Amino acid sequence: MTEIAAVIVNYNSGSLCVSAVRSLLAQDFLGPSGAAGRLRIVVVDNASPQDQHAVLDPLRDLGVELIYHGENRGYGAGMNLGLARVESAEFALLCNPDLLVLPGALAALTSLCRGDASIGLCGPRSYLDAGRFFQQPALPLPSAADRIQEALGAFSAGAARRHDRRRIREQHRIWRAAAQEDVRMLAGSFLFLPFDLARRLGPFDPGFPFYFEDADLCRRARAAGRRLVYEPRAEIIHFYDRSARSARAEVASKQAFSRDYYFRKHCGRLQRGLLRLSDRVLAARTSAVPAAPDISDLGLQQGPFPIDFATHPRPFVLEVSPRADFRFCAGHPGEGRSVTLGASGFEMLEPARWHARVLDAESLEVLAQVSFQKDRAAAPPLAFDALAR
């Protein structure tokens, strides 16, 4: 029997998909008997507008099964199609094409899941750049209650601080984790779960055309009595948002539909009414966010630069975001009295105005906050061959 059945849904990301496949094929992990584990890979091309045959077809020589789907019915539907081709396996791996799986990841995940039958879904530590400087944003589980609490912050500074501190502490807990952590949400870019559970749950609800299908799956796995576990020993590099960039308007429309479908599925009428009111409040507040008076504008930056913040070394977390409120940010934990953005971390940033702040890891005190402009294009994603060197 196959130990791991990996399904990758591709959309206009053929060369990235090839690197993802090769990084998976380079993994070493054991089967239940102690022999070398077996990996089966299915790639579903979700009706990419750009022809993918020339790039993807050679994967057949590596034992990969290819499915060219004539219709794009969403990421979840593509995953379900790929998994349906697998008769049986011990585990299922559902992942994006725009990532590289680092050595030891599958060994860590199989070991974790075999040792605890209560685990439903597992996710890895996810970096955004080849130098592993920035970690991917830790996504909160979407809920109407959280959105309503956020909106209350528009009327109460105390409520706003309490909500932000809860969010920041949860995010920092994941970024700084040295061992497994139970969580409420795992990103759908890379999900590892028992195969029988994947089949029982769907794994995805095909009613979601794009985004929110992972949040829905996390809710359903927990409702089935299974835990969600973050495993920092398993590491990947996720070249974030590469497929979505090729169809921004379509993605925005599908995301809005998925969000509405998610809250209709999981919230009552009263909650949805309060959610709509909260959205209006937050939209008005975001459009009028004043600039913080203590931000240092560093102007145009051509490369990595240092941020000094303390007279003595201390544990810290650096956050970098395109938003001044840091509600969606990449993170880098460390210790010292200054931090310099890693070269690969700086290069992965898109040309834009960026905001960076350093927080004390324990008190969450803001130690330094700056903004800067980057005008060079982001560096291209690292290929598997370059990683292997």
What angle (nearest 5°) sits at the alpha carbon of residue 190, between those of residues 188 and 191?
80
Closest CA to 188 of 142, 130, 148: 142
DSSP character for 212? S
DSSP one-letter string for 228-255: EEEEEEEEEEE-TTTTGGGGHHHHHHHH
Give residue 289's pLDDT.
45
Closest CA to 20 of 85, 90, 97: 97
The first and second tokens of residue 277, run together, are 């009111």
pLDDT by residue, tens only, the chain of 389 residues: 799 999 999 999 999 999 999 999 999 999 999 999 999 999 999 999 999 999 999 999 999 999 999 999 999 999 999 999 999 999 999 999 999 999 999 999 999 999 899 999 999 999 999 999 999 998 899 999 999 998 888 888 888 889 889 999 999 999 999 999 999 999 999 999 999 999 999 999 999 998 999 999 999 999 999 999 999 999 999 998 765 555 667 788 899 999 999 999 999 999 999 999 999 998 887 544 445 557 899 999 999 999 999 888 999 999 999 999 898 999 999 999 999 999 999 999 999 999 999 999 999 999 999 999 999 999 899 888 877 66
From CA 308, how far away is CA 358, in angstroms rounded? 9
DSSP one-letter string for 354-366: EEEEEEETTT--E
Give residue 340's pLDDT.
96
Domains of the chain (ranges; CATH) run 4-248 (3.90.550.10), 296-374 (2.60.40)
Q: Map residue 217 onto helix, strand or coil.
A: helix
Give residue 242's pLDDT.
61
From CA 205, how far away is CA 77, in angstroms rounded? 7
Q: Map residue 8 onto helix, strand or coil.
A: strand
Backbone torsions φ then ψ of 369, nearest 5 degrees: -145, 130
Q: What is the pTM of this model?
A: 0.93
From CA 125, how far away is CA 233, in angstroms rounded? 7
From CA 315, how far away is CA 363, in angstroms rounded? 10
Closest CA to 335 of 353, 356, 318, 352: 318
pLDDT in tens, 176-202: 999 999 999 999 999 999 999 999 999
Helix (H) or strand (E) holding 163: helix 157-175
Give residue 295's pLDDT.
87
Residue found by looking up tokens 């349906």 in the block: 84
The first and second tokens of residue 280, run together, are 């209006």
Contact between residue 213 and residue 204 where contact means Cβ atoms under 8 Å apart:
yes
The first and second tokens of residue 12, run together, are 């206009």
Give residue 312's pLDDT.
86
Closest CA to 356 of 365, 345, 369: 369
From CA 12, how far away is CA 244, in angstroms rounded? 9
Give residue 240's pLDDT.
80
